[in-house]
Chains A and B, each alone.
Chain A
Amino acid sequence: MEVFNVKNMSFGFPDTTWKVLKNINLTVTEGEFIVLCGPTGCGKTTLLRLLKKELAPVGNRTGDIFYVGKRLEECDERTLIEQIGLVFQDPDNQIIMDEVMQEIVFGLENLGYSNFEMRKRVAEMVHFFGMEGLLRLKPSELSGGQKQMLNLLSVLLMKPKVLLLDEPTSQLDPIAAKDLISMLERLNKEMGITIILVEHRLEELFGVADRIIMMDSGEINYTGSSKEVINDLYLQKDERFIPFIPSLSRLYMELETSLECKDIPLSVKESKGWIAKMPKLVSEDPVVRPAVESLPNAQLVAVKDVYFQYEKKGPMILKSLSLHISKGEFFALVGGNGSGKTTALKACIGSIKPQRGTARYEGKDTSKLKGKELYEKIAYLPQNPRTYFLHDTIEKEMQEAVTRHRIDSGKAIITELLHVFDIAHLRDRHPYDCSGGEVQKAALACMLIGKPDMLFIDEPTKGLDPISKERFSEVLSRLHKEGLTIMMVTHDIEFAAQNAQRCAMMFDGEITVDGTPEQLFKGNYFYTTAINRATRLSNVREVLTLEEALATWPVPVVT
Chain B
Amino acid sequence: MENGFRGYHPFVLFFYYVCVGVLAMYFNHPLFLLVACLVLIGVNSTHDKGKALKKWIPMLIGMSTIIILVNPFLNSRGTTIFFYFRGKQVTLEATMYGIVMALSLVIILLMFISFNLILNGNKFLFVFSKFLPKTAFLTMLVIRFVPLLKRRFDEINDVQRIRGMTIASGTIRERAKSAMVMLQILLTWSLEEAIETADSMKARGYGIGKRSPYVPYKMDKRDKGWLLTLMLLFSVCIAGGIFGYGKIIIYPELGTLQFYLFDWVMLVCMTLLMSFPLLVEGREQVKWKFSM
A contacts, CB < 8 Å to B: 52, 54-55, 77-78, 81-82, 85-86, 88-90, 92-99, 101-102, 105-115, 118, 138-140, 151, 154-155, 158, 346, 349-351, 370-372, 374-375, 378-380, 382-384, 386-390, 404, 432
- Tell whether A110 pairs with B196 under 8 Å between CB atoms, given A351-B161, A432-B188: no
Partner of B212, one of A82, A109, A349: A109
Q: Complex Cα distance A99/B215, Å?
A: 14
B162 CB contacts on chain A under 8 angstroms: 349, 374-375, 378-380
- Tell whether A54 pairs with B140 under 8 Å between CB atoms, given A112-B211, A114-B212, A387-B189: no
Chain A CB within 8 A of B166 CB: yes
Q: Complex Cα distance A98/B121, Å?
A: 9
In the complex the two chains form, is A93's CB within 8 Å of B140's CB? no
In the complex the two chains form, is A384's CB within 8 Å of B205's CB? no
Instruction: Flag the segment in B53-61, B141-149, B279-287 that touches A.
Output: B141-149
- Tell whether A390 pairs with B181 under 8 Å between CB atoms, given A375-B164, A379-B162, A384-B155: yes
In the complex the two chains form, is A382's CB within 8 Å of B159's CB? yes
Chain A CB within 8 A of B220 CB: no
Give the Cβ gap from B39 to chain A, nearest Cβ, in Å.
30
Residue of A nearest to B194 (CB): A93
In the complex the two chains form, is B206's CB within 8 Å of A110's CB? yes
Binary interface encoding of chain B residues 138-177 relative to chain A, with 1 for a CB under 8 A from any of its CBs, else 0? 0011011001100110011111111110100100000000
B199 CB contacts on chain A under 8 angstroms: 55, 88
Chain A CB within 8 A of B62 CB: no
Give the Cβ gap from A404 to chain B, nearest Cβ, in Å.
7
Chain A CB within 8 A of B207 CB: yes
Partner of B158, one of A77, A108, A382: A382
In the complex the two chains form, is B140's CB within 8 Å of A98's CB? yes
7 intermolecular pairs with C-beta atoms under 8 Å apart: A55-B202, A94-B197, A98-B144, A111-B205, A351-B158, A370-B166, A387-B189
B contacts, CB < 8 Å to A: 121-122, 140-141, 143-144, 147-148, 151-152, 155-164, 166, 169, 181, 184-185, 188-189, 192-194, 196-197, 199-216
Residue of A nearest to B199 (CB): A55
B159 CB contacts on chain A under 8 angstroms: 380, 382, 387-388
In the complex the two chains form, is A374's CB within 8 Å of B164's CB? yes
B161 CB contacts on chain A under 8 angstroms: 350-351, 374
Q: Complex Cα distance A90/B197, Å?
A: 10
Give the Cβ gap from B248 to chain A, nearest Cβ, in Å.
46
Q: Complex Cα distance A158/B208, Å?
A: 14
B152 CB contacts on chain A under 8 angstroms: 387
In the complex the two chains form, is A387's CB within 8 Å of B212's CB? no
A155 CB contacts on chain B under 8 angstroms: 203-204
Q: Complex Cα distance A138/B287, Å?
A: 32
Residue of B nearest to A94 (CB): B200
A54 CB contacts on chain B under 8 angstroms: 202-203
- Tell whether A93 pairs with B196 under 8 Å between CB atoms, given A98-B121, A370-B169, A374-B162: yes
- Tell whether A432 pairs with B192 under 8 Å between CB atoms, given A78-B205, A110-B206, A112-B209: yes
* SS class, residues of chain B in contact with chain A: helix
Q: Complex Cα distance A140/B148, Å?
A: 8
- Tell whether A102 pairs with B140 under 8 Å between CB atoms, given A115-B214, A140-B148, A432-B188: yes
In the complex the two chains form, is B164's CB within 8 Å of A372's CB? yes
Q: Complex Cα distance A114/B193, Å?
A: 32
B208 CB contacts on chain A under 8 angstroms: 77-78, 81, 110-111
Residue of A nearest to B196 (CB): A93
Give the Cβ gap from A13 to chain B, nearest Cβ, in Å.
16
- Give the top 10 A-B pairs by smallest Cβ distance, nearest first: A107-B204, A93-B196, A140-B147, A94-B200, A110-B205, A375-B164, A81-B205, A105-B214, A98-B144, A380-B162
Q: Complex Cα distance A113/B208, Å?
A: 13
Q: Complex Cα distance A97/B129, Å?
A: 14
Q: Complex Cα distance A94/B203, Å?
A: 10
Q: Complex Cα distance A266/B241, Å?
A: 82
Q: Complex Cα distance A155/B201, Å?
A: 11
A350 CB contacts on chain B under 8 angstroms: 161
Q: Complex Cα distance A155/B140, Å?
A: 20
Partner of B196, one of A88, A114, A372, A404: A88
Q: Complex Cα distance A105/B213, Å?
A: 9
In the complex the two chains form, is B164's CB within 8 Å of A404's CB? yes
B141 CB contacts on chain A under 8 angstroms: 96-97
In the complex the two chains form, is B122's CB within 8 Å of A92's CB? no
B160 CB contacts on chain A under 8 angstroms: 387-388
A432 CB contacts on chain B under 8 angstroms: 188, 192
A107 CB contacts on chain B under 8 angstroms: 204-205
Q: Complex Cα distance A156/B178, Å?
A: 44
Residue of B nearest to A85 (CB): B203
Give the Cβ gap from B145 to chain A, nearest Cβ, in Å.
9
Give the Cβ gap from A480 to chain B, nearest Cβ, in Å.
20
In the complex the two chains form, is A109's CB within 8 Å of B158's CB? no
In the complex the two chains form, is A112's CB within 8 Å of B204's CB? no
In the complex the two chains form, is A387's CB within 8 Å of B185's CB? yes
B163 CB contacts on chain A under 8 angstroms: 374-375, 388
Supplied contacts A110-B209, A387-B185, 14 more A-B pairs, CB within 8 Å: A52-B203, A55-B199, A93-B196, A93-B200, A101-B216, A102-B122, A106-B201, A109-B213, A114-B212, A350-B161, A374-B163, A384-B155, A387-B160, A390-B185
Could you say which of B152, B162, B201, B215 has the most chain A C-beta atoms within 10 Å of its C-beta?
B162
Give the Cβ gap from A101 to chain B, nearest Cβ, in Å.
6
Q: Complex Cα distance A114/B210, Å?
A: 12
Q: Complex Cα distance A436/B167, Å?
A: 28
Give the Cβ gap from B9 to chain A, nearest Cβ, in Å.
15
In the complex the two chains form, is A95's CB within 8 Å of B204's CB? no
Give the Cβ gap from B277 to chain A, nearest Cβ, in Å.
21
A52 CB contacts on chain B under 8 angstroms: 203
Q: Complex Cα distance A82/B194, Å?
A: 23
In the complex the two chains form, is A97's CB within 8 Å of B155's CB? no
Q: Complex Cα distance A362/B202, Å?
A: 52
In the complex the two chains form, is B204's CB within 8 Å of A106's CB? yes
A372 CB contacts on chain B under 8 angstroms: 164
Q: Complex Cα distance A101/B157, Å?
A: 32
Q: Complex Cα distance A528/B151, Å?
A: 31
Give the Cβ gap from A343 to chain B, nearest Cβ, in Å.
11
Give the Cβ gap from A141 to chain B, nearest Cβ, in Å.
9
Residue of B nearest to A381 (CB): B159
Give the Cβ gap from B109 to chain A, nearest Cβ, in Å.
26
Give the Cβ gap from A474 to chain B, nearest Cβ, in Å.
24
- Tell whether A81 pairs with B207 under 8 Å between CB atoms, given A90-B193, A118-B214, A387-B185: no
B205 CB contacts on chain A under 8 angstroms: 78, 81-82, 107, 110-111, 158
Residue of A nearest to B158 (CB): A351
In the complex the two chains form, is A94's CB within 8 Å of B140's CB? no
Residue of A nearest to B207 (CB): A110
Partner of B214, one of A108, A380, A389, A404: A108
Q: Complex Cα distance A382/B193, Å?
A: 17
Give the Cβ gap from A99 to chain B, nearest Cβ, in Å.
5
Could you say which of A95, A97, A110 has the most chain B C-beta atoms within 10 Å of its C-beta?
A110
Residue of B nearest to A101 (CB): B216
Partner of A112, one of B144, B181, B197, B210: B210
Residue of B nearest to A81 (CB): B205
B193 CB contacts on chain A under 8 angstroms: 90, 92-93
In the complex the two chains form, is B211's CB within 8 Å of A109's CB? yes
A115 CB contacts on chain B under 8 angstroms: 212, 214-215
